[in-house]
Structure 1
Amino acid sequence: MTTTVPAPPRSTAPAVLDRIESVTLSSVTLPLPNPISDAKVFTGRQRPMTEVAFLFAEVTTEEGHEGVGFSYSKRAGGPAQFAHAREVAPDLIGEDPSDVGRLWTKLVWAGASVGRSGASTQAIAAIDVALWDLKAKRAGLPLAKLLGAHRDSVRCYNTSGGFLHESVEQVRDNATRTLEQGIGGIKIKVGLPDSAEDLRRVRAVREHLGDGVPLMVDANQQWDRPTAMRVSRRLEEFDLVWIEEPLDAYDAEGHAQLARSLDTAIATGEMLTSVAEHAELIRHGAVDVLQPDAPRIGGITQFLKLATLADVANLQLAPHFAMEIHAHLAAAYPREPWVEHFDWLYPLFNERLETRDGRMYISDRPGLGITLSEQARAWTVDRVTVGAVR
């Protein structure tokens, strides 16, 4: 006997769980203890970096849920991000925060006349990250678990101790302290006008670390194609994990030539500001280790699209900067990733990510697991709240 159970009557009410009540945007300037120089400074293309501009977004809902996200800009662009976010944020008021992908598209089209990459999408990124943080908090889960974690920790390497403004002796001392803190790998900067000095520094650090410690180098886009090929071949003797940004970020063909010619992996992508730009690298076979930056490409919504493309292409993943966001995203990537450790952002948050045995551990705190410090509030240079204020 077959029994048919009638379906319940279809509701005509919208499936809205909550609504966004307000968005608070803060422009925060983080001062760095010392001026920072990479190869772009030594080639005369940029000045030393003395501060980093952050855009924080705090989203509050009618039900009392809150999410926090951030984007950033180095040397220039911070005020532009804040201004753009302030213009498009009113379009969020009254929307259901669960619909993150739809809201990303809505915000992009609200400001599409200035493009769908660069400063405009970096502004949207702060809001997008806040919406994902809110979504995970409402579920009572760390973001990595909400996305579907493949691991509870990720391999990590340090960059902040390897810049070119410091002597090679200081870089070696920094590396020793880094390893003592439980961080697994060391990345140092190269790309000086004198390639012999680059090789001297790499040799000194490799000899200091020994053969068992993962070592990476980063030329910050300062080589032309012949130089990149010549120096990279010399670098292969040091058993590097990867050679990063040997060429201009948009030179997909040049990177592809290097990737085909070298045994050492080629890493790049951090300076690109859209999924489409990264897709060009993948299409050309120009990269072995993809290095997307969620705040730069538009947030977590866009990062997840790119991660799928990278996985289909069998690529390694090593997100750039912003470890407070990227640890979660890397933990949800199917292939074993790397996450970049920077201690620059420590003053901005009340929490710390745990590092031990060469790995960075995902906390059990809901969402991103971060709250803004009083110091971050003190460094705020502009602030606006859109919508109702509690």
Structure 2
Amino acid sequence: MPEIEMPYRVARIQAWALRVPIRTPVATSFGVMHNRPAVFLRIEDAEGAAGWGEVFANWPAAGAEHRVNLLIDDVAGLVLGREWSSPTDMFHELSRATHIRALQCGEPGPFRQVIAGLDIAAWDMTARRGGLPLAKLVSSGARDLVPVYASGIHIDAAGAMIAAARAAGFRAFKVKVGFDPGADPGKVIECSRQLLPQEALYADANQAWTREEARRFLKSAAEARLGWIEEPIACDAPDGDWLDLAGLDVPLAAGENIAGADGFDHALSLGALRFVQPDVCKWGGVSGNLAVAQDALRRGFVYCPHFLGGGIGLMASAHLLAAAGGSGLLEVDVNPNPLRDALASSGDFVRDGNWHLSREPGLGISGIPAELRDHVTLTREAG
């Protein structure tokens, strides 16, 4: 991690839960999203500098409002009024201070997600104070653009969705395939045949299969020449299952459901994965994810940030990838989501297969757009 010394004292924390109804539900192997939720937060220091963050809120269905209450009622008191030497200092101390609380209630995930959102906001505020885009604060050699791929594509709608994503500037696509233990590889093969030269296809099973089911699918789908298969089995499946699948011809990808430096160290040391995909809003924020990215790149893996949420987290993911370097791609869900598009629309940032980063200080987020205010279900603050 870079040694960023720009002390701050948080004087105020604001948080919003938002939900937007959608016409077409977003389906995964483990559940269906009937609306698009998000938790946005803002921190402000004693001098009035501010930063924006996002907390993972897709699951469970009532997750967004829960995370807002957890932030304000249980975590804010650990943050307010204390001088922090850096966002990374705050991230590690909050992780330590909430460990027993998370054990006591059996909810390590929600605590990690709230801390991740606070970390993103602290980095955004620090970059704004320095007058730099976040990527440039973290690395002076950060890129101005990063490769991008379209995700959230249901295999049964892949033809039309890939065509639309291609027209929007994407050159790589990820299809969801984990809806059936006996998933038909023919659909994926047909998708691959529709690709243009220089385009790539990936697949995501969302932890749906057993090792035997995954082996059967991957062997049958060899003709599709997938760039990776993401979470073909549960992230906590035995190491031997992951190593067994790694012996096949399709590279393995995972990381959104791994948490903690030890968890990622184990995954990288095992060597089954080729693509490492931590989620900035689920664990680690900028501090944890950048450390994992740098470690993965040193060991020869590819860092590809996972993301499925609102616009703040997507912007943070783009800046992380730009700062970390490597050959990874930025994930952009192409299902309708006003909570993403009002802040980070692919129409504004995606061109010719790349995401072009804003040159505004921090993440380039100035606030919650007016058109989203009617979708706020809960707002709270502390300080």
TM-score class, shorter-chain normalisation, is 0.7 to 0.9
Question: Separation in 2 of the partners of 1:229 and 1:350?
Answer: 40
Aligned to 2:248: 262
Q: What TM-score, normalized by structure 1, do the two folds share?
A: 0.86
The alpha-carbon distance between structure 1 residues 301 and 108, as it changes in their structure 2 partners (threshold 3 A), is same
The alpha-carbon distance between structure 1 residues 282 and 337, as it changes in their structure 2 partners (threshold 3 A), is same
Question: Separation in 2 of the partners of 1:96 and 1:182?
Answer: 44
Aligned to 2:261: 275
4+ residue runs over 6 A deviation:
none
The alpha-carbon distance between structure 1 residues 28 and 221, as it changes in their structure 2 partners (threshold 3 A), is same
Q: What are the equivalent positions in structure 2 for 1:1-390 lying under 5 Å apart?
A: 18-40=8-30, 46=31, 48-76=32-60, 77-86=63-72, 87-96=74-83, 99-115=86-102, 117-148=108-139, 149-160=141-152, 162-164=153-155, 167=156, 170-193=157-180, 195=182, 197=184, 199-210=185-196, 212-251=198-237, 252-259=239-246, 261-321=247-307, 322-343=313-334, 344-348=336-340, 349-352=342-345, 353-370=348-365, 371-387=367-383
Question: Separation in 2 of the partners of 1:291 and 1:158?
Answer: 15
Structure 2, unaligned stretches of length 5 or more?
308-312
Contact 2:148 2:330 in 1 (8 A): yes
Residue 345 of structure 1: how far off its partner (Å): 4.3
Residue 377 of structure 1: how far off its partner (Å): 2.7
Residue type of the alignment partner of 1:206: S
The alpha-carbon distance between structure 1 residues 250 and 196, as it changes in their structure 2 partners (threshold 3 A), is closer
Residue type of the alignment partner of 1:262: L
Contact 1:51 1:75 in 2 (8 A): no
Residue 83 of structure 1: how far off its partner (Å): 2.4
Percent identity (aligned): 27
The residue matched to 1:58 in structure 2 has which SS? strand
The residue matched to 1:21 in structure 2 has which SS? strand
Contact 1:323 1:342 in 2 (8 A): no
Deviates more, 1:347-356 or 1:241-250: 347-356
Residue 227 of structure 1: how far off its partner (Å): 1.6
Residue type of the alignment partner of 2:381: T
Residue 226 of structure 1: how far off its partner (Å): 1.4
Q: CA RMSD in A?
A: 2.1
Question: Separation in 2 of the partners of 1:346 and 1:360?
Answer: 18
Question: Separation in 1 of the partners of 2:7 and 2:116?
Answer: 23
The residue matched to 1:297 in structure 2 has which SS? coil
Contact 2:147 2:354 in 1 (8 A): yes
Residue 98 of structure 1: how far off its partner (Å): 5.0
Contact 1:18 1:63 in 2 (8 A): no
Question: Separation in 1 of the partners of 2:113 and 2:180?
Answer: 32
Residue type of the alignment partner of 2:374: A
Contact 1:272 1:296 in 2 (8 A): no
Contact 1:122 1:295 in 2 (8 A): yes
Residue type of the alignment partner of 1:69: G
Question: Separation in 2 of the partners of 1:333 and 1:279?
Answer: 17
Residue type of the alignment partner of 1:191: G
The residue matched to 1:319 in structure 2 has which SS? coil
Query: Would you say how many aligned residue pairs link Structure 1 and Structure 2?
Result: 360
The residue matched to 2:194 in structure 1 has which SS? helix
CA deviation profile, 1:103-151 (whole Å, cap 9, x unmatched): 2233223322233841111011111110000011111111111111442
The residue matched to 2:52 in structure 1 has which SS? strand
